[in-house]
Amino acid sequence: MEVSMKQKKFVIVSAVLLLSAVGMFADTILSVGPAFTNYFVQTKIEGSSLDSAVAHILSGSLENTKDEKNNAACFALDWRGELFYLMAQMAFPGKTHSDIFKSNSEAIKQSAIILDTQLGVGVTLFKQSQLNLFLGAGAGLNTMYANQSMQIPLAGTVSYAKLDFMVGAGANVIASLFLTKNIGIYAGIADTLYFLPIMTEKEFTIGGQKYKLDNKAVKNNWANSVNVKAGLTIKL
């Protein structure tokens, strides 16, 4: 059966794409281990849907939501191919999350989760040596959820929850020391600046009544996440 010109082109293009994919994912390296995250977000509140009485009760807490700081241990995962890389880090700040309700009370219950990711391109220096250095830069994606609650006289249980979803750009630097041909240890640092908020929500609950501040009232100006990490690195 005679092969048409279109079929020949299809075979050639498929072969080129396959070879490109093999080259792209050759020398794949996976790094995993513990990390430490410092996360800061600056928020601007332009009016709100809260009535005057509720706004008065929460005036201090609203002020405290403008600049939130988080320091926490986390888990880091880095995948590096020949050209592209993917970074993902998940942190659980817990009690280190900024107190929205400023109080020495042990009754404050809080939890938080921060997810930082980067997808970009990079280059590995000294690739053939036992010690090499990876330099990468790419787009960043951040998701953060946090909540706090406590008992306030006359108001009862008051809780606060927030959800942020932001996009930005960052850099990722990793130094790897291979102890065998395929296994080694690594240390690195990643810094991501988030400047494009996709979704921002803050919600207060007082006595079972919910009061929500959405993107119309809350503007995330920017956020910054700095992550220091170390652990095990493996050539796949």
Spell out a b/e string for 115-146, using b for 16 or more CB atoms within 10 Å of the CB, else e. Answer: bbbbebebebeeeeeeebebebbbebbbbbeb
Of 204 and 154, the one with more pLDDT: 204
Please tell me the predicted confidence (pLDDT) of residue 24. 52
Give the E-state strand segments of the chain in sequence order: 29-45, 67-80, 84-91, 109-125, 131-152, 156-178, 183-206, 209-213, 218-235
Q: Considering the domain boundaries, does residue 3 fall inside one?
A: no
Residue 153 belongs to domain spanning: 28-235
Spell out a b/e string for 87-112, using b for 16 or more CB atoms within 10 Å of the CB, else e. Answer: bebbbbbeebbbbbbeeeeeebebeb
Kindly report the CATH number assigned to the domain that includes residue 117. Answer: 2.40.160
Above pLDDT 70, what percent of the chain? 65
Q: Considering the domain boundaries, does residue 149 fall inside one?
A: yes
Whole-number Å distance between alpha carbons of 141 and 40: 15
Above pLDDT 90, what percent of the chain? 36
Please tell me the predicted confidence (pLDDT) of residue 133. 95
**Could you tell me the sign of the dihedral formed by the alpha carbons of 55, 61, 113, 67, in that order?**
positive
Q: Considering the domain boundaries, does residue 35 fall inside one?
A: yes
Q: Which residues contact 28 (CB under 8 A, 6 or more apart)?
A: 79, 80, 81, 235, 236
Please tell me the predicted confidence (pLDDT) of residue 134. 96
- Yes or no: say if 114 and 39 are a contact pair by the CB < 8 Å rule: yes
> What is this structure's pTM?
0.74
What is the average pLDDT value for the chain, to the nearest integer?
77
Whole-number Å distance between alpha carbons of 22 and 4: 27
Q: What is the pLDDT of residues 70-113, one digit of tens each?
A: 888 899 999 998 888 999 999 988 654 445 455 444 444 577 88
Please tell me the predicted confidence (pLDDT) of residue 80. 92
pLDDT (mean) for 174-187? 95
Of 221 and 115, the one with more pLDDT: 115
Place of tokens 């995948």: 79
Number of structural domains in the chain: 1
Q: Considering the domain boundaries, does residue 13 fall inside one?
A: no
Going by pLDDT thresholds of 50, 70 and 90, the confidence category of residue 225 is very high
For residue 12, pLDDT over 70 is answered with no
CA distances, 49 to each of 54, 203, 210, 215, 234 (Å) = 10, 11, 11, 12, 52
Of 102 and 34, the one with more pLDDT: 34
Cα distance between the two ends of the chain: 42
